[in-house]
Structure 1
Amino acid sequence: MPYTTQAIRNIAFVGHTGVGKTSLFEALLHVGGTTPSAGSIDRGNTVSDYDPMEKHYAHSLNTAIASIDRDGCHINLIDTPGYADFCGPTLSALGAVETCAIVVNAHNGIELNTRRMMEYAKARGVCRLLIVNKIDGGNCRALIEQLRETFGPECLPINLPASGGKTVVDCFFKPSGVADFGSVAEAHQRIVDQVVEINESVMDHYLEAGEQALSGSELHDAFEQCLREGHLVPICFVSARTGAGVRELLDLMVKLLPNPTEGNPPQFLKGVGADAEPVVAVADASQHVIADVFKIINDPFVGKLSVFRVYQGTIKKDAQLFVDDGKKPFKVTHLYKLKGKDHIEIAQAIPGDIAAVAKIDEVHFDAVLHDSHDEDNFHLKPLDFPQRTFSLAIKTAARGQEQKLAIALLKLTEEDPCFTVEHRNESNETLIHGLGDLHLRVMIARLHERYGVEVTSHAPKE
């Protein structure tokens, strides 16, 4: 289905492990018509957790991407890991979206990664949406107060649970019905007051003539400004398990979440170090191409897959693109969009699109793809990744596999910006560094499962 940049929504689902991000991702794909039925973590048939290691742990260990076409909009969803050990891919995804949807478990409330993701998205200038999942149970009334006390009064419900958590009632567009707690009319008034006060002319019009006198565009533009400036963090309620609120969440994405021209502009720089200066990328399909690679997948069938977000220009099949300040372009022989592990060939990618190219060895994580030397030395403002805190020394279990190990480690470091490898000459050890014991255990398991390299490990020598 053809669509414009204004019709695109890019949303990353983040949050603590176990809050139900993957189940919500699956429910949305089903309700949105992308899949005939919602996948199940227990059955191991989800779109997002397709890696054998993810099925083993029953948790996301990497990001997964899929899209929904609904009501003229093209909605790109990114499911991310909840484990802190795998926050590298999660933070990378936040660099590619306008909206960060922080999912909260109604039963557990605010958890460690809830706080981290709220703070990170705010610092990065990404619009935020709070999604309370598992509303069939849990104390949603108390959770609203907890969210507001922790993250500020700008957190306001845009709908509320009703009928014992079996459905939700709208508090913004058509505020009617009875919620399980609180007043729908009061919730509506609070969110409208919050929206109109961001813009002086809208506020004056509202005070003079009331809400009914505001045009749809006035209210919409003020809402987007609130999201950009962090003046409003909407709270919505769902149950991925029962489907309550899922269709309403999709409607909210279409009507209210920012498109690529409405979110905060990407933070591109030209040059390095202290000499780097901000540059503007405009979501204009007719301009030079600027795209940033935020994910690398080493696929056993397709080969190296480089996933990027287009910020400016149009990438078409057979186009010639440069990588960073490289002098020799590569040809876009095939252009893909992703649906979990599936790669669907497309003819072009416009500003706001998330797409991928295959088998281009020189492309790396955070590379900028462009079609003119005018954009040489462009790069996004570096992401603030956590320090690697855990290390192991490894060696091959069988002699003669050292080269195979080196190639496999290179591929793993390409995929995860928080996984690094070092050869320590003084002790003649190969060290792997990561964010925790689980992080490195999964990487060692992948060496064996993906690349057939078995290693032994021990603590590094002092």
Structure 2
Amino acid sequence: MSYHTEHIRNIALAGHAGVGKTTLFEALLHAGGVIQSMGSVERGSTQSDTDPQEKARSHSIDSCIASIDRDTCHINLIDTAGYPDFRGGALAAFAAVETVAVVVNAANGIEHGTRRIMEHARLRGLARLLVVNKIDAEGVNLQALVDALREEFGSECLPVNLPAQHAGTVLDCFFHRDGGTDFSSLAQAHQHILDQVVEINESTMGAYLDAGEDALTPQQLHDAFEQCLREGHLVPICFVSARTGAGVSELLDIFDRLLPNPTEANPPPFRNAHNRQLAVEPDPDAHVIADVFKVVNDPFVGKLSIFRVWQGTVRRDSQLYIDDNRKAFKVGHLFRPNAKSHVEIDQAIPGDIAAVAKVEDIHFDAVLHDSHEEDSIHLEPLHFPQPMFGLALEPRHKGQEQKLSQALSRLAEEDPCFRVEHHKELNETVIRGLSDLHLKIMLERMRDRYGVEVITKPPRIAYRETISNSAEGHHRHKKQTGGAGQFGEVFLRVDPLERGAGFEFVDAVKGGVIPGQFLPAIEKGVRQAMEIGAVAGYPLQDLRVTVYDGKYHPVDSKEVAFVAAGKKAFLDAVAKARPIVLEPIVDVEVAIPEPSVGDVTGGLAGKRARIMGTDAKRDGELVIKAQAPLAELTDYPTELKAMTGGRGRYSLDISHYEPVPPPVQRQLSEAWKPKLDED
């Protein structure tokens, strides 16, 4: 199919784990004529779950991209993982789409992942669509679910179609108003959504009030509908059963007729080197601007960098630059990712999703462009959750250190929520992820893909350090070695900042007592000390360092001298400023059978948790909401399984940092001192 940007729809399927996103992905591909028959998650035969670990666990780990060509549109569809352990790839897909279709399990209703995804999409300025799946499940009350969705996410959530009375088909209630449904009059639903849509635009509202609905053309309705989506004035609700196919063809029609194309959506949040909003237009003749939102190390084609084209046309054999690197690379082969295969194409226009292979310098979130004179530009970064779980590791077999480093680097390229830290002071490599399961999957991939096995040490929690008072520090670095010596003297002050403020470095030196060229060296020394820590070996944060006095020598003063002086002066000040250790506090949601509530709440209380509330769900299930120190939850999966007979499940989200209790700080400090002495 030959198409233009106006024909493209970019849509991510997202939502809580177990809502049926992958089955819906299969059903849409089948209804769109892409595949002859639907695969099964249970049999491991779906288009999207191709990784051996996905097949073994019967759930998605990575996002998968496929396209559907219809007579009037080209749909790029991204299936994303629902488990919070793998949300990095799911959120990364938001940088490539105009619409997020949030899938809801009709039997389970609103779950933690539903809220999280809706909020991420809203903050990104994306159109949102609620897709209620499993409408034929036993005991489902769709009217109650719609009421709950409207109460949770606002009155702008309105059905655009409704299940027919026999639940085998779905009836459109936006363009049509006649027909029977199980739980609501089609005419009433039609009127509700029509009233919501027309009020967004004065001219449409005026025509509607003057002459009624018949005065509005389909194009006027579409334009008003699209504006409502763009401005968050409408969140359509539609109904499907991915398993039986009910409502799937109708959902494709909604994608085609009602969702925004790349020319209609909110402008992408690109910024220039000065962090100012940069106008990027979906013009195929303009300079190329594309953003890399997914990196895959494919065993057959090598490193595959998947990008969304925002401006210009990427052609095979053209030259592109990466970020502000002035060295170009040639687009030798251009691919369209299509589930299990990659289709070679000649060009990619604005709105397209495409990929290039074997370009090692490309990284996640890189901006590709074709202008040597282009200023440094970047897409406003997505807000990814912080990886809080850590494991220290070393290769099981000697001589594999280099192989381990390369494997970790490859894995980190693919997952924005997987981090690798090298602690020189402790001669230690630490990996961080969103959960113990996340890290387990990454270690299995390292073993299976790269043949590297490791020995792991107990999980390291991402503690931080800060100060609770202001204090001053001083150090004179003086070293004489026969020839020219080293000299630098620094006076500085440290002040605490509010939680999450980070770090500030202030130059308050007057009279040239420290020449300006040595201030970066002092800051470098301070940052080195911040990385090492002052209490228990964890990075310092949330403080301001003000350098206000010092001395230099016209011959002996060098950068290295002021690095050392700045480092020691900073540590001197921190020691006087009542340093404290901070621990990550997480929001916990635990879904359990009602008989287990006493054991679970008691167990959480023993972990220094604060119970925030309890919600009742269907089938006698309760959801306990709490806040707890992450350090207390390292063995929680095993404990929860024992307390609930395997029926409990939980999710974590980082909330904030709090000071640890004094006994914990003493314990952490005492454990660090021997390691520091050895170093």
Q: Deviations over 1:321-368 (max 9, x none)?
A: 000001111000000001113111001000000000000011000000
Say whether the 8 Å CA contact 1:310–1:353 is kept in structure 2: yes
Query: Matches of residues 299-378 of structure 1 in structure 2 within 5 Å?
Result: 299-378=298-377
Cα separation, 1, equivalents of 2:358 and 2:2: 27
Cα separation, 1, equivalents of 2:219 and 2:187: 22
Give the CA deviation at 1:139.
Answer: 1.7
> 2:120 matched to 1:117?
no
Say whether the 8 Å CA contact 1:136–1:164 is kept in structure 2: no
Query: Matches of residues 212-227 of structure 1 in structure 2 within 5 Å?
Result: 212-227=214-229
Cα separation, 2, equivalents of 1:139 and 1:298: 44
Corresponding position of 1:290:
289
SS of 1:411's equivalent?
Answer: helix
Unaligned runs of 5+ in 1: none
- Cα RMSD, aligned residues only: 1.0
Cα separation, 1, equivalents of 2:319 and 2:53: 36
Corresponding position of 1:103:
103
What TM-score, normalized to structure 1?
A: 0.98
Say whether the 8 Å CA contact 1:292–1:367 is kept in structure 2: yes
Give the CA deviation at 1:141.
Answer: 1.1
Unaligned runs of 5+ in 2: 461-670, 673-679
Paired residue total = 459
Cα separation, 2, equivalents of 1:276 and 1:432: 31
Q: Which moved more, 1:302-311 or 1:209-218?
A: 209-218
Corresponding position of 2:252:
250
Corresponding position of 1:61:
61
Corresponding position of 2:35:
35
Cα separation, 2, equivalents of 1:103 and 1:97: 16
Give the CA deviation at 1:42.
Answer: 1.3
Corresponding position of 2:206:
204
Q: Which has the larger radius of gyration?
A: 2
Say whether the 8 Å CA contact 1:47–1:339 is kept in structure 2: no
Give the CA deviation at 1:175.
Answer: 2.3
Q: Deviations over 1:115-140 (max 9, x none)?
A: 00101100110000000000002221
> 2:381 matched to 1:382?
yes
Give the partner amino acid of 2:268: P
Which of 175, 187, 198 is the matching residue for 2:189?
187
Q: Deviations over 1:38-74 (max 9, x none)?
A: 1111121111110111111111101100000012210
Corresponding position of 2:84:
84
Corresponding position of 1:415:
414
Which of 267, 270, 293 is the matching residue for 1:268?
270
Corresponding position of 1:238:
240
Which of 156, 167, 170 is the matching residue for 2:169?
167
Which of 146, 150, 153 is the matching residue for 2:152?
150
Say whether the 8 Å CA contact 1:170–1:176 is kept in structure 2: no
Give the CA deviation at 1:193.
Answer: 0.4
Cα separation, 2, equivalents of 1:94 and 1:284: 21
Cα separation, 1, equivalents of 2:47 and 2:387: 30
Cα separation, 2, equivalents of 1:391 and 1:241: 39
Cα separation, 1, equivalents of 2:387 and 2:198: 44
Structure 1 residues 230, 374: closer, same or farther in 2, change over 3 A? farther
Cα separation, 2, equivalents of 1:4 and 1:406: 44
Give the partner amino acid of 1:156: L
SS of 1:458's equivalent?
Answer: strand
- Following TM superposition, the consecutive aligned residue runs of length 4 or more in structure 1 with deviations greater than 6 angstroms are none
Give the CA deviation at 1:298.
Answer: 0.2
Give the partner amino acid of 2:136: D
SS of 1:279's equivalent?
Answer: coil
Cα separation, 2, equivalents of 1:427 and 1:454: 21
Cα separation, 1, equivalents of 2:380 and 2:77: 23
Give the CA deviation at 1:428.
Answer: 1.4
Cα separation, 2, equivalents of 1:17 and 1:85: 10
Give the CA deviation at 1:100.
Answer: 0.4
Corresponding position of 2:514:
none
Corresponding position of 1:406:
405
Give the partner amino acid of 1:367: A
Q: Deviations over 1:416-453 (max 9, x none)?
A: 01100011122211100111111100001111111111
Q: Deviations over 1:283-324 (max 9, x none)?
A: 010100000000000001100000000000000100000000
Q: Which moved more, 1:50-59 or 1:367-376?
A: 367-376
Give the CA deviation at 1:163.
Answer: 3.0
